[in-house]
């Protein structure tokens, strides 16, 4: 193998600054332990949530069947089946505790004992290894830089000598040049040759010095590298122990025939990952990034004119293939919580509505976005409800109840609507009910059917006294109860009554008559 082929090899461990792979490995090892701890904590949270869900499931159905079923063998058998959920919940809760106590805490303790953090720099152990490598390479770096300077000077002298020789040969063949000019070129060529001899001698001198220091340099670097290998072996053995411990916790959850073969394969794999296998991994690392990696030791290299051209072509190829990629980081606030409207005092006990309505507060981001639309149809003053109650709300001094429609004339404990509606609802902020309308209607009718009598039912039982008007629907609305009608944005509805004390109107659409929120429409 020629010297040129050796220099084409990738830079190995002995090159200046190439110990950084070993320093980086220590940092990556710490990050691996941290990521494994996060994974175990996440699995423990999943086990805990599942255990709580099983306990809630067991308590719910046990109480239900104890109240609805008479004592019998069937109920006893059913209680046994339900009791299985408690046992399974205890098993998953135990797995959660074992993951937190045996794995996560042990990982934290290992990190605390072996990697001491600092405020502004890397952990203490990483700094010590990096400083040790830097100290071992300090003298070698000085000798190597001097050798490189001498090498460049020798190559420059060789190029000057070659140029002077070409000029002298051309001058000797050119009869137009005088003898004095030819003699000057000959003197210049001789001086260039003397410079080549001097720089070559200097280059060989520094090369001898660096080769003399080669053995101490290798000894110092090998000592620090062996320390890194020991640290990595300790971390790998601990890592395998933690993986094995995690597998033992999980195998207790699914110790059945379906998963038996899978876990046997995992256990066999973990058994083969012993110290011998770890040492093989370390040996492979050593062959690539360690003391056994191929390197290009400084040797005397004769000057070749074509070497410069080849190097220039390589550099130009690298420059042509390089580039800069500009990226932009976009931060998305996933955890932003929209403000909600809490239920107020007009809530009838034992009759809950299955709809939660959110409304942005003044000054919030959602309010500002709605305000930017500039549409008169979206303004509070243009809705049917606000037109009828604008004069009445002008005298209301209670600024804390802006989300509740004026309730002057509220006369008792009963109410037709016990949850306030926003005067300016935003359809994208309305949470749909967890169940379908039909299932909610059937469940509410079976358990506690809503009353059709409200404080305002007598008032709006007759629609002849009220001048009927047509209104345009501003927002979609899905009915919750049987006496309500659905709305679709853009359609027309006939308003049969004024808003009641809780902001509900009676209207007719498509032959159906029912209640709808007054603030969802605008009078035409």
Summarize pLDDT for 82-92 with one digit per residue, the tens: 888 888 788 88
| Band of pLDDT at residue 211, cut at 50, 70 and 90 | very high
pTM of this prediction? 0.48
Please give the Cα distance from 120 to 139 (Å, whole number).
29
Give the span between the Cα atoms of 484 and 507, in whole angstroms: 9
Q: How many other β-carbons are positioned within 10 Å of the β-carbon of residue 386?
A: 20
Question: What local confidence, expressed as pLDDT, does residue 39 receive?
Answer: 95
Q: What is the mean pLDDT of residues 491-505?
A: 90
Where b means 16+ CB within 10 Å and e means fewer, 154-174 reads bbebbebbeebbeebeebeee
pLDDT of amino acid 257? 58
pLDDT tens-place string over residues 156-192 = 999 999 998 888 888 788 777 778 878 888 888 889 8
Give the H or E element holding residue 357: strand 356-357
Q: How far apart are CA 447 and CA 424, in angstroms?
A: 33
* 350 pLDDT above the threshold of 70: no
Per-domain residue ranges for the chain? 1-115+229-299, 356-366+375-393+400-523
Q: How far is it, in rounded angstroms, from Cα 64 to Cα 268? A: 47
Contact 355, 480 (CB under 8 A): yes
What does DSSP assign to residue 196? H
Record the tokens describing residue 244, joined without a space.
């094995």
In the DSSP assignment, the letter for residue 427 is: G
- Superfamily the domain 356-366+375-393+400-523 falls into: SH3 Domains (2.30.30.40)
Checking if the pLDDT of 409 tops 50, the result is no
- For residues 388 and 393, give the distance between their C-alpha atoms in angstroms, rounded to a whole number: 10
Neighbours of 151 (CB within 10 A): 20
117, two tokens: 């953090």
The pLDDT tens digits for 282-302 are 888 889 888 888 888 888 888
> Which pLDDT belongs to residue 353?
40
For residue range 218-275, list pLDDT tens digits in order.
999 999 999 999 999 999 999 999 999 999 998 888 776 544 564 676 677 677 778 8
Closest CA to 133 of 12, 224, 228, 230: 224
User: How many Å apart are CA 247 and CA 262, to the nearest integer?
Assistant: 11
Whether 374 has a pLDDT exceeding 90, the answer reads no
């Amino acid at each position: 193998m020629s010297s040129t082929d050796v220099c084409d090899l990738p830079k190995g461990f002995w090159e200046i600054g190439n110990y950084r792979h070993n320093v980086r490995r220590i940092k990556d090892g710490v990050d691996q332990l941290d990521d494994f701890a996060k994974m175990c904590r996440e699995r423990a949270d999943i086990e805990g949530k599942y255990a709580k869900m099983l306990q809630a499931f067991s308590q719910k159905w046990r109480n239900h069947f104890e109240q609805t079923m008479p004592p019998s063998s069937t109920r006893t058998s059913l209680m046994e089946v339900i009791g299985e959920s408690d046992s399974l919940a205890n098993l998953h809760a135990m797995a959660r505790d074992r993951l937190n106590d045996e794995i996560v805490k042990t990982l934290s303790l290992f990190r605390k004992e072996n990697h001491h953090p600092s405020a502004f720099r890397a952990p203490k152990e990483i700094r010590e290894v990096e400083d040790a490598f830097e100290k071992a390479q300090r003298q070698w770096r000085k000798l190597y830089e001097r050798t490189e300077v001498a090498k460049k000077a020798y190559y420059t002298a060789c190029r000057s000598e070659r140029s002077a020789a070409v000029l002298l040969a051309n001058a000797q063949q050119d009869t137009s040049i005088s003898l004095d000019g030819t003699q000057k070129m000959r003197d210049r060529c001789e001086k260039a040759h003397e410079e080549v001899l001097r720089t070559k001698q200097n280059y060989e001198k520094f090369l001898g010095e660096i080769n003399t220091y080669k053995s101490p340099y290798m000894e110092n670097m090998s000592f620090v590298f062996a320390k890194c290998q020991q640290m990595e072996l300790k971390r790998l053995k601990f890592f395998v122990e933690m993986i094995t411990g995690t597998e033992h916790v999980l195998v207790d959850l699914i110790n059945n025939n379906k998963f038996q073969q899978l876990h046997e394969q995992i256990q066999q794999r973990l058994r083969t990952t012993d110290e011998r296998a770890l040492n093989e991994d370390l040996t492979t690392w050593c062959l690539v990034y360690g003391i056994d990696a191929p390197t290009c030791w400084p040797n005397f290299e004769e000057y070749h004119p074509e070497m410069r051209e080849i190097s220039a072509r390589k550099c130009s190829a690298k420059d042509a293939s390089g580039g800069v990629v500009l990226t932009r980081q976009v931060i998305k606030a996933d955890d932003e919580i929209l403000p909600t409207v809490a239920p107020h005092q007009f809530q009838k006990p034992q009759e809950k509505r299955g709809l939660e309505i959110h409304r942005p507060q003044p000054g919030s981001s959602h309010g500002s976005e709605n305000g930017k639309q500039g549409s008169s149809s979206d303004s509070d003053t243009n809705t049917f409800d606000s037109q009828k109650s604008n004069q009445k709300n002008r005298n209301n001094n209670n600024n804390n109840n802006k989300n509740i429609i004026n309730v002057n004339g509220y006369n008792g404990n009963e109410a037709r609507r016990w949850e306030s509606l926003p005067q300016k609802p935003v359809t994208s902020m309305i949470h749909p009910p967890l169940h379908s309308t039909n299932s909610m209607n059937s469940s509410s009718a079976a358990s506690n059917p809503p009353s059709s009598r409200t404080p305002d039912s007598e008032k709006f039982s007759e629609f002849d006294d009220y001048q009927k008007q047509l209104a345009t629907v501003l927002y979609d609305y899905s009915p919750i109860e049987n006496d309500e009608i659905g709305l679709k944005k853009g359609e027309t509805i006939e308003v049969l009554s004024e808003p009641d004390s809780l902001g509900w109107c009676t209207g007719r659409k498509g032959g159906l008559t029912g209640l709808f929120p007054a603030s969802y429409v605008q009078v035409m």
